[in-house]
Amino acid sequence: SFSGAEIVVTNASSRLVFVPAAAREAPAGLISALNVFGKMGGFDGVVRHVAGDAPLDAMRHMLGPIAAVQAYLLPDFLEDWVPRLVPALQTKLMELSSDELKVADESCIDDLKQCIQSLYLALPSHGNASGGGRTGGALVSPANKVLEAFTLDFGLKCLKAPILKLKLKGLADIRELVRLAAHKAEYISRLRDLSGQAAAYLANNREAMMASAQLMYVATSVDDLLAWLLQHDIVDLLYGSLAHMEVMRRGFEFVKFLASQGVLTKAHIDLIWEAGQGKHEAVQNIVLSAFTDLAPSLSLELLGYVYHAKVATVPHASFSSHLIQLVRALTMHALLTSSALKTTADVKAATAASAAKAA
């Protein structure tokens, strides 16, 4: 283990620490170089520079090589060093001003964020999670929740910046988590709604499957993500008075997610509708298209609210093709929703009647 002048990595004659690095021999020169670097206080120096005034590009040059050889570093050293490094790097990125972010090399920031993830998930106490488990149906480590919290916070910082490029970057990072959380919510819903033969077949495994489902796609729970979006007034950031039309154009997925989880409110609808009032036709069309795409995710109550409180107030002479499409979507999905509710009510009534008759 690393302590003072002791070595920090394994050598070729002893075990290598992490898979897949354990499957290949470490070059002797690399081992010697890392041990000398550790003996001379190099790793502690990296933390000091990151916490100090080191430029972003310098930090990338310091951390990139270390992240690349992290598989050869001993577990005890990683458990001591990474928890000192990662918070310092996260703080440094969060303290960047909008002007600094504007001129910063975007690939440099992405590389530093990747270093944070790579080193943090390499900690033995985090189960040696590999790659973040963020694609397909892979499970993620609970440690990912800390990284996702930083992704949200840094994304929000960029979204609030007065620079469109930064806004779109932050929006994209947050939107990816929302997209994965939506997949997770849908998967969990399907597990809960398993019926008949499938439910019986999986009865013994349901608890384990539900536990695994909580770590599908993202470690942050759907409820926590919803709470974060509402706490930070995401709808206002997307469609408020200061919102850019390109941000509005990309905001639909957030609103759809809120609606699918039953937390979209009439106040949100008021705000989104108002974003298009008295604006250029292009902005109006973005808002109307958002409502048209949102219609399938709205409750019957909200479908009626959009129509009666918003659409019905527009003079017929002012109807555009986009508004006509919205009317069609609202009408069609109101009919479908009403039919589905009636069918559900009929099934419940029939089930209750059968149960009463059997009793």
Task: Give pLDDT tens digits for 263-318.
Answer: 999 999 999 999 999 899 999 999 999 999 999 999 999 999 999 999 999 999 88
The type of residue at 309 is: A
State how far the Cα of 177 lies from the Cα of 32, in Å rounded to an integer. Answer: 41
- In the chain, % of residues over pLDDT 70: 77
R_g of the chain, CA atoms, integer Å? 26
The yes-or-no verdict on residue 6 having pLDDT over 50 is no
Q: In Å, what is the CA distance from 153 to each residue of 147, 157, 175, 186, 268? A: 10, 6, 13, 25, 22
**Over residues 98-119, mean pLDDT:** 90
Question: Going by C-beta distance under 8 Å and a sequence separation of 6 or more, which residues neighbour residue 14?
Answer: none
State how far the Cα of 51 lies from the Cα of 286, in Å rounded to an integer. Answer: 43
Higher-scoring residue by pLDDT: 283, 214: 283
Quickly state the pLDDT bin for 114 (edges 50, 70, 90): very high
State how far the Cα of 308 lies from the Cα of 196, in Å rounded to an integer. Answer: 40
pLDDT at 304: 93
Quickly state the pLDDT bin for 247 (edges 50, 70, 90): very high
The yes-or-no verdict on residue 126 having pLDDT over 60 is yes
- Locate 45 and state its tokens: 């120096």
